Amino acid sequence: MTELLLDAAGRRRSPATMPGFHAGRAPRNKGVRYPADPPTIEEIVTVMRTAGDGQHGLRLRGLIVVLGRAGLRIQEALALNEADLDHRRGSLLVRHGKGGRRREVGMDDWAWEQLQPWIVARLELRVGPLFCVINGRTRGRHWSPAAAREELRRTAAAARVRRRFAPHQLRHAHAVEMAHEGVPLVVIQRQLGHRRSAGMSADAETAAAARADSRRGSSCRPHSAAARSAPESAARADPDRHATAGGSPP
């Protein structure tokens, strides 16, 4: 029994990690519905700046741009391998998306610029998943979704972002931005990995609502007018300048 309570690094595991421990217990968030309230670009950039330039910060910044600029689910992002990146074509290969479906998604130049420092730092670790454990005996192995969510939440709190800053909220932000840019809904669905309209989740519904707002001339957009009017290449040269173009971060 003692051996079963040890992880791959030889450390003691909590009994809560064992199969059947939560049997018969309803999850704490059962029945809770979170509104599609994606963070603004200023909030995202503020969190990226707060993450810093250390290895952990570079990894978190890379995860944020993959979630927020490619629209991946957290499991899809953490399953990426180094070989799944094609910088020349500007694409990421999702080998096993929802339902086991395989797809290729695009990512803009600014996101690649933010991801590149982590790609370089990743070369010091063993070959494996793109976003991996950095310290300890398990360094180079898969980074767990729970740990990634906690680091996102903790960094957002340190950045004084009062909005819920979860991986799926970043995915919503990507859908909203594409909708404001006039991308057809069917293209948004393909980017997000939805097969048909009947299976649309809150991601595509958020995009549709954002498009309706933009047609009505709503001012509630993820980018301010100043950021949208600035040249895209200049606005995305680095996070600090992008935040300045879009207004002061919260």
* pLDDT score at 217: 44
What are residue 24's DSSP bridge partners? none
Q: Of 31 and 238, which is predicted with more confidence?
A: 31
How many angstroms separate the Cα of 95 from the Cα of each of 79, 99, 105, 129? 8, 11, 11, 13
**181 belongs to a structural domain:** yes
Q: How many domains does the chain have?
A: 1
Q: What percent of the chain has pLDDT over 90?
A: 42
pTM of the predicted structure, to 2 decimals: 0.70
**155 belongs to a structural domain:** yes
Q: Of 194 and 207, which is predicted with more confidence?
A: 194
**131 belongs to a structural domain:** yes
**16 belongs to a structural domain:** no
Q: Which pLDDT tens digit goes with each residue over 92-146?
A: 999 988 888 899 999 999 999 999 999 999 999 988 899 999 998 889 999 999 9
**139 belongs to a structural domain:** yes
Q: Which domain holds residue 137?
A: 41-246
**106 belongs to a structural domain:** yes
Q: What is the CATH number of the domain that holds 114?
A: 1.10.443.10
Q: Of 235 and 160, which is predicted with more confidence?
A: 160
**35 belongs to a structural domain:** no
- pLDDT grade, residue 241 (50/70/90)? very low
Q: Which pLDDT tens digit goes with each residue over 13-70?
A: 777 777 788 888 888 888 887 767 889 999 999 999 999 999 999 999 999 999 999 9
**112 belongs to a structural domain:** yes
Find the angle CA(65)-CA(66)-CA(67) to the nearest 5 degrees: 90
Average pLDDT over all residues of the chain? 79
Q: Name which of 190, 217, 218, 222 is nearest 204 in CA terms.
A: 190
Tokens at 214, concatenated: 């933009």
